[in-house]
A and B are shown apart, each in its own frame.
Chain A
Amino acid sequence: MKIAVCVKQVPDSWAEKKMINGFLDREGVDAVLNDLDEYAVEEALRIVEAHGGNGEGGAHTITLISMGPARATDAVRKGLSMGADSAIIITDDALIGSDALGTSKVLAAVIAEQKFDLVLCGTESTDARMSVVPAMLAQRLGWAQLTFAGSVSVTPDTSSVTATRETEAGIDTMKAQFPCVISVIEKINEPRYPSFKGIMAAKKKPMEVYSLSSIGLDAQSPWSAVIDATPRPAKAAGIKVVDEGAGSEALLNYLTEKKFV
């Protein structure tokens, strides 16, 4: 199996994020591998490990694909140190400020070129939080879509995948043939920590860097535009009472005052 995992470098969840000229300022903050993508990397590793493994002596490969600034290499290294085999990074000044439609177009162009069997993604990035790229990828590639997967079972012999789709509406069991786009929810697994050996090995793993023109795409104007972005005033701390027996009474009075009771 040839598996791709789409990963994104995002500002650390703890960092204060701000907008400059309508775009997220990615320079002034610590950048990490998107939390939710770690579950996709882990799931890809589990899929290949259940069928003979990847790397030296293994029949399968896992390629990380990431679009972002040149320093996106830091986040990709983490995925490689977890056990992915190689990485492709698409970086180009013309891609600054790309929206989900632009991102999915670039990722789909790379994926279509390399003939993968499966593409795994997290359900969303922790910065933009749109959670639309996996569905867009499936639409652009004309592949099956198995998204919001809470469990995935792959049978390479028959090129088939069964997955549960778990959303607020309920749980569906879905089935599809290769090639498919799979997005995984965080309850699917517990991502491994990179081992020291894994971290050392990652330094030698191949990482290709592509520009927009090298994947045959032109710069494109975005499909939507930010008019303005304003920080909201920080919320002032409110009333705080210490419960010494009358805490519930105080709570009750507050609820009554605010007309919830």
Chain B
Amino acid sequence: MSQVLILAEFSADQVAKTVAELATAGARIGSVTAVVLAAPGKGAALAALVTTGPIAEVVIIESDAFAKYSVPAAADAIAQLITSRKSDAFLVASSAFAKEVAARVAVQIESGIITDAVDVAADLTATQLVFGGSTTVHSRVSHGCAVITIRPNSITPDVAPSTPTISNATVEISSSAQLAEVLSSAPFVKGGRPELTEAQVIVSGGRGTNGDFAVIEAFADSLGAAVGASRAATDAGWYPHSHQVGQTGKTVSPQLYVACGISGAIQHRAGMQTSKLIIAVNKDPDAPIFEIADFGVVGDLFAVLPKATEGVRARKS
């Protein structure tokens, strides 16, 4: 049976939603082992959280180096694990951290890498949507362990509980993985809203907000949505850069994407046009966003959104 390794990521001591998605894809290929990278003494508690999705085994690797040296240390440890276990595939989520880990692992073990897959089949064929979602590509790693990064939210997870066996592995982190040191770390505090790349619904604001994101946030909250922003809005300093959707920001494909006061330049569309359903609210009837919107309201977002927010709240209560 094929051996599939997945990287279990955590934030604020919670297991990432993507772990079940990776496990679901992995289980099509073979037996799934989740690797947990932890500070000394902390592995068991984290491993105990990895109970959702078809996971046969959890392997804990503990080292101070993971917090101190970040990506290179994680990659060094995982490359050793893949080599010793002769894994057939290594699946990670397409987060900035995991993608870089995958990149370094691929170089270290001389394996091919495919990034941003939206699906992976049992024979390891990966599906990607490229060029802003205009082209579907199928590809396969032709050399070594298949290293594949999978976009969050694209695989429907099997969330059945599992009781994986838990074991520990030890590795030696090489000196070349200890060259850049983390002096301090300030993780983003998770607000009440879902993570942008993992959200089922996203409400985004652009130039048309004139810097007032309160209406966007209120509408997002009524729908239980994440908040996104166009580059125009983040460049103007109206919303944090980490929320930018588009070619140079996040690529998202939620069930519903609501673009408010966003014209829909190709750079923005490249980051959201694979969303299942798109709604646009814009004053300009000729805004290109309407070309890809399933439903559009030509109007002032400050008139439309507050009333819609009230309406959603009323219908939900």
Residues of A within 8 A of B (CB): 13-14, 16-19, 35-36, 99-101, 104, 124, 126-127, 129-133, 135-136, 138-140, 142-148, 150, 162, 165-177, 180, 185-187, 221-232, 235, 237-243, 247-252, 254-256, 258, 260-261
Contact = CB atoms under 8 A, between A and B. Distances in A.
Given A100-B113, A185-B241, A168 B256 contact: no
Contacts of B138: 226-229
A239 B311 CA distance: 20
Contacts of B277: 258
Which are the 5 A-B pairs with shortest beta-carbon distances?
A243-B299, A223-B112, A132-B103, A144-B179, A170-B187
B264 to A, nearest CB: 12
A17 B142 contact: no
A195 B266 CA distance: 28
Contacts of A221: 142-143
B115 to A, nearest CB: 5
B223 A223 contact: no
Given A144-B180, A226-B138, A35 B315 contact: no
A250 B295 CA distance: 10
B266 A173 contact: no
Interface in B182-213: 182-188, 195-197, 201
A254 B280 CA distance: 12
A45 to B, nearest CB: 20
Nearest to B197: A168
B142 A135 contact: no
Given A224-B140, A237-B291, A130 B266 contact: no
Given A132-B113, A232-B136, A254-B295, 14 more contacts: A16-B134, A99-B112, A100-B113, A138-B72, A144-B180, A162-B183, A166-B242, A223-B110, A224-B114, A237-B292, A240-B296, A243-B300, A251-B297, A252-B308
B284 to A, nearest CB: 12
Contacts of A145: 71-72, 100, 179-180
B62 interface: no
A222 B176 CA distance: 26
Contacts of B160: none
B266 A223 contact: no
26 contacts: A13-B267, A101-B107, A101-B112, A130-B116, A132-B100, A132-B113, A140-B107, A144-B180, A147-B71, A166-B241, A168-B195, A171-B188, A176-B181, A187-B235, A231-B135, A232-B134, A235-B273, A240-B295, A242-B299, A247-B281, A247-B304, A248-B297, A248-B303, A248-B306, A248-B308, A258-B277
B170 to A, nearest CB: 22
A21 B295 CA distance: 36
Given A17-B134, A143-B179, A169-B96, A247 B297 contact: yes
Given A145-B72, A172-B182, A237-B291, A135 B104 contact: yes
Nearest to A167: B96
B102 interface: yes
Contacts of A186: 248
Contacts of A165: 70
Interface stretch (B29-37, B50-58, B81-89, B125-133): B125-133
A207 to B, nearest CB: 28
B232 interface: no
B111 A223 contact: yes
A186 B232 CA distance: 13
